[in-house]
Amino acid sequence: MTSAATETVASAGFFEKKPLERYVAPAKPSLVGFSRAALDEALAGIGVPERQRRMRVQQLWHWLYVRGVQSFDDMTSLSKELRATLDRHFTLARPEVAAEQISRDGTRKWLMRLPGEAEGRPHEVECVYIPEADRGTLCVSSQVGCTLNCTFCHTGTQRLVRNLTAAEIAAQVVLARDRLDDWRREATSGDEPEKRLVSNVVMMGMGEPLYNFEAVRDGLGVVADGDGLSISKRRITLSTSGVVPNIARAGTEIGSMLAISLHAVTDELRDQLVPLNRKYPLAELLDACRNYPGLSNARRITFEYVMLKAVNDSLADARALIRLIKGIPAKINLIPFNPWPGSTYECSDWSQIEKFSEIVFNAGYASPVRTPRGRDILAACGQLKSATEKLSARERLALRAMAMTD
């Protein structure tokens, strides 16, 4: 494998890495995460006649995404012959779990190992499950690493970048449901949908989803399909650092809820925190938000705002934030900064976060402060970084110490 897995290019005055690694399909691919179109193509490839394919796809869909079966033998509505043929050409393998960690607060993090390029080392990506009283949210990754370099984000420091495939994106939901025994729970819960542990999905793991648009769109199509995994688009939130040209497309082609990583109210500061701002400045970003297809009071945009001590957390910033988003049906999500080894920022003091939040609330916006979850296992926002670029034991200890002094 090339050691220069990524290169840094200067483009429009900001620095962006290019994904240089590609997905290379294994000789015997897994069907897990495949869309209907991909399943149809797979069946055509093994000689299933066209007139049968629609029905076969429907049957496979049910076994894959309602029952979660892990063996072709369990697909009892398919003939023995077809099961054997499928078994010869495909697998039902989930992404390999290289490590599972469970936080003191119940948050779970899976480090998934995905095939690397050619003989190269495997790629690793993280997926986090966050249980709450009324929902269970799965934080899904869209890329190995991230092509962008937000200065407060651990993922942004990772050099290796590759886009995940649509199937790899959807397969994260399948994997989480396996690990949580969620298929069986749902099947035995009768009319109580709350028994389902994975009820919501946020595209807030590693990567910038709008820089891997087609795969994210198709992967989320599998996740939202009402005859399968059935997580409605209202329960899926896509978070972007502000890839303006793809925001309208996300509204029409994906139709999920939208979150914007705003983090600053002036271009001067946002240029530093989110360097993509140099390409798509605040005025353009907010215009794209105002025009987001389907925007209404029932479908608000969430503005995420990471609280960085003495950087963006003054009460004047809070007031400017209100002015900036005026007229946009919105929620504001204040995220306490999650430190990581080597980060140069500090989290705002709680008293300051409270004062900031009060201004936002008094202006009529819901402004939940996102409770940091899973900090002890480095699962919180912006802490994700795969073990390909592993932290030393010392760094982990340092981080844990930080988490415990909150």
**Nearest Cα to Cα of residue 306 among 339, 330, 329:** 339
Among 337, 377, 378, 385, binds ligand SAH (CB under 6 A): 337
Report how far residue 140's alpha carbon sits from residue 222's, in angstroms, rounded to the nearest whole number.
14
Residue 263 makes CB contacts below 8 A (sequence gap 6+) with 150, 152, 270, 273, 274, 304, 305, 306, 308, 312
Residue 120 parent element (H or E): none
| CB closer to ligand SAH out of 84 and 310 | 310
| Span from 19-27, 149-157, 166-174, 293-301 in contact with ligand SAH (CB under 6 A) | 149-157
What track of x and - describes contact with ligand SAH for positions 66 through 105 (by CB under 6 A)? Answer: ----------------------------------------
Report how far residue 108's alpha carbon sits from residue 222's, in angstroms, rounded to the nearest whole number.
23
Q: Is 377 in the site for ligand SAH (CB under 6 A)?
A: no
Backbone angles phi, psi at 75, to 5 degrees: -85, 75
Among 241, 256, 333, 383, binds ligand SF4 (CB under 6 A): 241
30 binds, among ligand SAH, ligand SF4, none (CB under 5 to 8 A by kind): none
Residue 290 makes CB contacts below 8 A (sequence gap 6+) with 327, 328
Q: Is 306 in the site for ligand SAH (CB under 6 A)?
A: yes
Among 16, 208, 218, 376, binds ligand SAH (CB under 6 A): 208
Strand partners, 346: none
Interhelix angle 166-179/213-224, rounded to 10 degrees, is 40
User: What share of residues in the chain are helix, strand, coil (percent, to 5)?
Assistant: 40, 20, 45
| Span from 56-64, 71-79, 334-342, 358-366 in contact with ligand SAH (CB under 6 A) | 334-342
Written as six digits, the tokens of 373 are: 């979850």
Give the angle 352-203-365 at the CA atoms, nearest 5°: 40
Give the angle 260-266-271 at the CA atoms, nearest 5°: 75
Among 146, 161, 197, 403, binds ligand SF4 (CB under 6 A): 146
Among 155, 237, 367, 386, binds ligand SF4 (CB under 6 A): 155
**Nearest Cα to Cα of residue 173 among 121, 122, 235, 117:** 235
One-letter amino acid identity for 85? T
Residue 110 makes CB contacts below 8 A (sequence gap 6+) with 97, 99, 100, 126, 127, 128, 129, 175, 176, 179
Smallest gap from residue 126 Cβ to ligand SAH (A): 11
Smallest gap from residue 148 Cβ to ligand SF4 (A): 4
Report how far residue 379's alpha carbon sits from residue 370's, in angstroms, rounded to the nearest whole number.
14
| CB closer to ligand SF4 out of 68 and 275 | 275
Q: Is 382 in the site for ligand SAH (CB under 6 A)?
A: yes
One-letter amino acid identity for 131? P
Among 34, 63, 110, 152, binds ligand SAH (CB under 6 A): 152
Among 5, 42, 114, 153, binds ligand SF4 (CB under 6 A): 153
Residue nearest ligand SAH, CB atom distance: 382
Strand partners, 114: 123
Smallest gap from residue 386 Cβ to ligand SF4 (A): 12
**Nearest Cα to Cα of residue 183 among 92, 82, 53:** 92
| Annotation marks residue 126 as catalytic | yes
Residue nearest ligand SF4, CB atom distance: 156
List 126, 168, 186, 304, catalytic entry: 126
What track of x and - describes contact with ligand SF4 for positions 183 through 222 (by CB under 6 A)? Answer: ------------------------xx--------------
User: Interface residues with ligand SAH (CB under 6 A)?
Assistant: 146, 150, 152-153, 204, 208, 239-241, 261, 304, 306, 335, 337-338, 381-382
User: Interface residues with ligand SF4 (CB under 6 A)?
Assistant: 146, 148-150, 153, 155-156, 207-208, 241, 261
Residues with a catalytic annotation lie at: 126, 381
